[in-house]
Structure 1
């Protein structure tokens, strides 16, 4: 499975750290260059992590795509991207409702919303997801209980 992240902040860093240490079958993790410091730290720390040149490259390569941008810039970032029909997309964007996200995405994707907290880095705690999705639930199950 290839996982991509658009937005490279504290939650992305925590999730990548947790995923790498989880035992999930991950072929690669791609992170956007948005926060160069965090992206470089992740790529330097974990051989599975690679920094993409732009957000579209992250979308194109992802089996599971995480949207992890700040709510203040989400409307500017997401509609510019071209998603695949049926693509698994997980939004960890706070305070943004499902109809708004789907409108920005503009394609029939499998959208799941999640609320991970920083302790996923240590694979502790629980992450709420909606609606239920077996593949996304398996990722978050590996990041805590």
Structure 2
């Protein structure tokens, strides 16, 4: 049951990465980001060269790449740590720009990604530990599995030669 849950969660992480990739594409197509109040107050829009939008787009691409790697290599602690950090930084970015700096309004484009990232962050902290991916006695270590197979192959060849 734990493995099925882990595979489903890996799909969830891939979905979040896809959403970030969509945010990056939207940043380049619409040439405005959630950081500008252009929806309500177009007169306050200062970024004529759309620098903020491009920076958000590149950040979203980097985050989606990190999450894709986290999906593929979730059995490695440093990769999961990278995914946790990218999610935490994104949550901090959204909340600080909305609540502290007030450069964005509290709308769907802020609330939905923030909730999505919080759910993913909670799962990324909890599920790998629950699924015992990092137990030293776990058989998921690929190198140990390959070494056992190689040892068994050598023993079979030694028996045939004798």
Q: Same fold (TM over 0.5)?
A: no
Give the alignment's TM-score, normalised by structure 1: 0.25
Q: Which has the larger radius of gyration?
A: 2
Give the alignment's TM-score, normalised by structure 2: 0.23
Which is richer in helix?
Answer: 2
